[in-house]
């Protein structure tokens, strides 16, 4: 299959009515799509790794390093969003070539791609689904662990607050407030 006529920067290719035509093979579009999917998978692994680092820092009581880890996660997520735009563009181009709706699912593209592309696209789809599920589970685990650690720290440090602590039945005014409700 060949792509619809478009302007080309190659002046040696002349099309109908004197226009320049860019001829793009469906195979080339599929290669671009698979490369974009592979980039998404790489960036998802980076995000996963950075979540693991965040969890390890929290588990090792490395509080001062946690903001840096969070910024790195935000950066990885932003890189992933940009790569996803490239993947979406490649998907639209393949969909256009195969006469599909502009944003088809990968399994729909696989069914119409034929040849070895079907297996390649289905494999990437499976890998993406597994990776995203793993990241969601990891993020939930890290979030829960950090929340639990914050709760434990709050409970452990209640003796520093004015309104907490045992008075052993005496009504005394406590002095020397170190922290007042900041934890």
> What confidence tens digit (pLDDT) does each residue in 14-31 have?
444 544 545 568 899 999
pLDDT above 70 covers what percent of the chain?
69
For residue 179, give every residue at least 6 positions away whose Cβ sits within 8 Å of its Cβ, in sequence order, or none.
Answer: 157, 160, 161
Q: Are 118 and 110 in contact (CB under 8 A)?
A: yes
SS3 assignment, position 162? coil
Is the pTM higher than 0.75? The answer reads no
Tell me which of 86 and 115 has the higher pLDDT: 86
Q: Are 151 and 67 in contact (CB under 8 A)?
A: no
Spatial separation of the C-alpha atoms in residues 160 and 156, rounded to whole Å = 9
Sequence spans of domains, the chain: 16-157
98: which DSSP letter? Answer: T
Banded model confidence at residue 107, pLDDT cuts 50, 70, 90 = very high
| Residue of 23, 35, 49 lying closest to 120 (CA atoms) | 35
Query: Once rounded to an integer, what is the mean pLDDT over residues 156-165?
Result: 55
Spatial separation of the C-alpha atoms in residues 118 and 23, rounded to whole Å = 23
With both helix axes pointing from N to C terminus, report the angle between 106-113 and 26-59 in degrees, rounded to the nearest 10.
150
pLDDT of 7 over the 60 cut: no
SS3 assignment, position 25? strand
Tell me which of 160 and 150 has the higher pLDDT: 150
pLDDT of 116 over the 70 cut: yes
Mean pLDDT of the chain: 79
């Amino acid at each position: 299959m060949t792509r619809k006529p478009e302007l080309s920067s190659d002046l040696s290719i002349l099309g109908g009515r004197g226009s320049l035509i860019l001829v793009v093979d469906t195979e080339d579009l599929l290669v671009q799509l698979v490369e974009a999917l592979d980039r998404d998978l790489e960036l998802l692994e980076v995000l996963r790794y950075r979540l693991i680092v965040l969890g390890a820092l929290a588990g090792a009581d490395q509080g001062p390093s946690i903001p840096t880890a969070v910024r790195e996660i935000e950066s990885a997520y932003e890189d992933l969003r940009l790569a996803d735009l490239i993947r979406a563009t490649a998907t639209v181009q393949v969909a256009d070539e195969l006469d599909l709706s502009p944003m088809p699912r990968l399994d729909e593209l696989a069914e119409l791609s034929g040849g070895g592309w079907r297996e390649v696209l289905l494999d990437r789809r499976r890998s993406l689904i597994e990776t995203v599920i793993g990241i969601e589970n990891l993020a939930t685990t890290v979030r829960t662990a950090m929340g639990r650690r914050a709760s434990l720290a709050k409970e452990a440090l209640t003796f520093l607050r004015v309104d907490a602590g045992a008075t052993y039945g005496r009504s005394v005014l406590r002095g020397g407030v170190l922290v007042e409700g900041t934890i």
